[in-house]
Amino acid sequence: MKKIIAIIGAMKEEITPILEYFKKYETISLGENTYYKLEYQNSIIIIAYSKIGKIHSALTCSTMILHFNANYVIFSGVAGGLREDLKVGDIILATSLCQYDVDITAFGHKLGFIPESKIYINTNESLNCIAKKVAKKQNINLKYGIIASGDSFVFDNAKKQWIIDNFNASAVEMEGASIAVVSSLCDIPFCIIRSISDSADNNANISFDEFLLESASRSAKFVISMVDEIVKE
């Protein structure tokens, strides 16, 4: 049975380096999105950029799993760093993900909690071990931590600190938690790789524009190396 590996980015810039690496692929239109399918070392790879935000990424991830039968999901992209030790270009592996913009505290629940779910969803340990293996081989100082997702671009010091205080998050972005929810519910191993593009502070919009391509490329190259390890197993 062939392995089917889904690679998702939120923006075109996040998957372009991956498409350029593989070069030849089939283009499939579905649900007003484009999916790129190819065979690689006796495995199948499906690549797509979902468009920004949790709804789009949830739809794309669901399509990857339910239509294309993906049995691995990897997200590649950029994120805002929340910790002081995270610098532009650093690669962070999500240990778990949460939704910082979910708030039903009026009913006595904690921030980020959804009934019949949980605040933090853990990533797959086997895929995380592969990420650590790649980092060791390439002498990359891979960072780890909780990644918080929400449907807004964080570029405010006060909001940044609020996310740190309430979720102990290391990085912030707009898609990872929805990938986590869909993959977890479908019992599909998933992994979230992000390269830091900004510090989610008052200058984040400037930093993001400046470092998007470079950071997206770093994440993409790392994920391609992960794919090489997955198909060998």
- The three-class DSSP label of residue 43 is strand
Read off the tokens for 44. Answer: 């199948």
Read off the tokens for 46. Answer: 């499906």
Task: Calculate ∠ Cα 41-34-178, nearest 5°.
Answer: 90
Nearest to 119 by CA among 98, 149, 96: 98
Read off the tokens for 125. Answer: 């340990």
CB 9 within 8 A of CB 19: no
Read off the tokens for 102. Answer: 């979910």
198 is catalytic: yes
Active-site option among 173, 175, 198, 201: 198
- The three-class DSSP label of residue 37 is strand
Active-site option among 13, 14, 101, 103: 14
Read off the tokens for 223. Answer: 């994920």
* Residues carrying an active site annotation: 14, 198
